[in-house]
């Protein structure tokens, strides 16, 4: 179950690196995650299938598994 202010891990499929962030918005099957690191980068993810969210930001694809 996802919740606002929940800390989550995202994986960048382009670079293979992981990033942490905090859920700031949940609307239907969309989740917005603010990435940690002192920047205000917001990644909007859509549910691809149950438990798998996919989105892109700055030309990179991010995946979140819950």
> Residue 58 falls within a domain, yes or no?
no
Domain that holds residue 22: 7-52
13 is a domain residue: yes
The whole model's pTM is what? Answer: 0.91
Number of domains within the chain: 1
Give a yes or no: residue 15 inside a domain. Answer: yes
Q: How far apart are CA 59 and CA 5, in angstroms?
A: 25
Q: What is the pLDDT along the chain (66 residues), one digit of tens a residue?
A: 899 999 999 999 999 999 999 999 999 999 999 999 877 899 999 999 999 999 999 999 999 999
pLDDT of residue 8: 97
Domain-embedded: residue 39: yes
Q: Per the domain annotation, does 61 fall within a domain?
A: no
**Residue 57 belongs to some domain of the structure:** no
Give the strand pairing for 60-65 and 42-49.
unpaired
The answer as to whether 65 is a domain residue is no
Q: Is there a domain that residue 45 lies in?
A: yes
Burial label, 32 (beta-carbon count in 10 A; 0-12, 13-18, 19+): middle
């Amino acid at each position: 179950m996802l919740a606002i202010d929940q800390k989550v891990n995202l994986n960048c499929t382009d670079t293979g690196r992981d990033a942490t962030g905090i859920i700031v918005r949940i609307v239907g099957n969309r989740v917005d995650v603010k990435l940690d690191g002192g920047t205000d980068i917001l990644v909007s993810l859509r549910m691809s299938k149950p438990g798998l969210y996919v989105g892109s930001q700055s030309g990179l694809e991010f995946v979140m598994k819950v």
